[in-house]
Structure 1
Amino acid sequence: MDVASRSRSRVEERLTRLEEEFGPPEVTQTTFEVSEERYQRSLERSRDGQLDVRCVVRDDDGAVLLREGNGEWLVPRGQTEPDERLSEAVKRIVREAAGVDCTVTDAVSANIHGIRNGDDESAGTVYRLSVVFTADVVDAAEQSGESVRWDAEPDAVSELV
């Protein structure tokens, strides 16, 4: 089985697990070309079965949890560990990114990324899955640090959900 078939098969397995745990999310697909370095990184993550996670965490007032990253305020994000249950991965990623505990409520969208090597047309397309989850904060008082905030009207969320 080639790279494209294996990575596509892993994405389909993850989508099945996602559906079993949360029901069917809205699924879209995007294909794009990247550099050799980024392609190799995607290939490695594909082999491990990692999935990219973004989580929109809301507090009791509806404000969204944001974390500063690369000069921008973004929702918590990260990658799953191999064989990690999806809801547990989301909770871990939110805790590591922002220092708060949450309860995962839904998987609202999934995007299948077809990644082509822009430097080598003969390299197979690698497929990766990125999922946006929603969650409610368990205890907003736990959040700490200047790199984390709650925002009632965050721009980062509008492009995700």
Structure 2
Amino acid sequence: MLRAAGAADLEHPGGTLLAHLDRVGALLTTWGARPALATAGLCHAFYGTDGFAVALLPLERREELVQAIGEEAEATVYFYASCDRKASYRHLTDDDAEFTDRFTGERLRPALRQRQEFAELTAANELDIASVSPRMRAQHGAALLELFTRWRPLLSDPAWAHCRAVLA
């Protein structure tokens, strides 16, 4: 499905978007992520993101991704893609954190597990890019380290260790 959507043909730091997606899914697996989260990592760019505007599949066709990867993994993909980063990142660790859906404008209060998985997926995504692009790491590494330090309560020990190894 990723190949059919053109992920192998889109340039991305470290090669192609498909290569990046493969690495993100694999990184989540090495951190001990449950299978649905690792699958979401592989597919996290299907609807585009606040930082990567290219969508491989329009939102009107979400059911196709549900059929391919399951409801739980697709819901994580949607949640990740829907994040209005400017509105949502700052207070993600708060118990009453407000999360803004950039597609609908809706404000949600995600549960702890959803915030933890969002943080893990975000870390895997950003750390993969920082690992393969010295320019991106030099340009954004300090801000990413600051973000992930704030998010430390949400990150697994392996994810946090990887953050420090790549960004410190």
Band of TM-score, shorter chain:
under 0.3
More strand by percentage: 1
Q: For CA contacts below 8 A with separation 6 or more, give which structure has more relative contact order.
A: 1
More helix by percentage: 2
Return the TM-score normalized by structure 2: 0.27
Rg larger in structure: 1
